[in-house]
Amino acid sequence: MIAGIMASKSSAAERPRAASEPGALALVCLAAWAIPGAAHFWLGRRQKAAVFFVALLTMFVSGLLLRGRLFPFETSEPLVALAAIASAGMGLPWIVAHMVGAGGGLVTAVSYEYGNTFLIVAGLLNFLVILDAFDVAVGRK
């Protein structure tokens, strides 16, 4: 058993670090935020990168098509601010959507709340993807 634990510890210690420098780690996280799956692609996890890219973009675009709203950063409305932070997790697609005026939201649309849920959850899931990319980069996974 001890040998097994030692073996697992040594294998964890010997795991290659894809990006151990702070600058490189910051770039990995920035890439992961900007384009869902980009950091995993960069780190050689192509299959996971494809899943994250397709699933998260589909979720984000579905949220926009369902007439969901990209909430503004309103500090006077804490829940609105939290929703804004969550959906901002999508990175470049979120920026592009703002630039083209998408995500205005239509409160009277029957799918409005569904759209909001899709937009918020897509951003939150991309935050998890960023954390996963960080773990891969430092050799924890």
Partner 1 sequence: MTSHVLLLLLFAALVSAVFAALSRDEPGAQLKTGAIMFGGFVGAAILLGWLMYPFPL
Q: Would you tell me which residues interact with partner 1 (CB under 8 A)?
A: 47-48, 51-52, 55-56, 58-59, 62, 65-66, 110-111, 114, 117-118, 121, 125, 128-129, 132, 141
Closer by beta carbon to partner 1, 13 or else 110: 110
Closer by beta carbon to partner 1, 66 or else 97: 66
Quick one: DSSP state of residue 77? S
Please give the structure tokens belonging to residue 49: 């990168």
Q: C-beta of 81: minimal distance to partner 1 in Å? A: 24
Closer by beta carbon to partner 1, 102 or else 114: 114
Alpha helices in 66-111 (DSSP H): 78-87, 92-99
**Residue 119: CB atoms within 10 Å:** 29
Helix/strand/coil percentages in the chain, nearest 5 = 70, 0, 30
Q: C-beta of 93: minimal distance to partner 1 in Å? A: 14
Q: C-beta of 73: minimal distance to partner 1 in Å? A: 25
For the chain, what's the residue count? Answer: 141
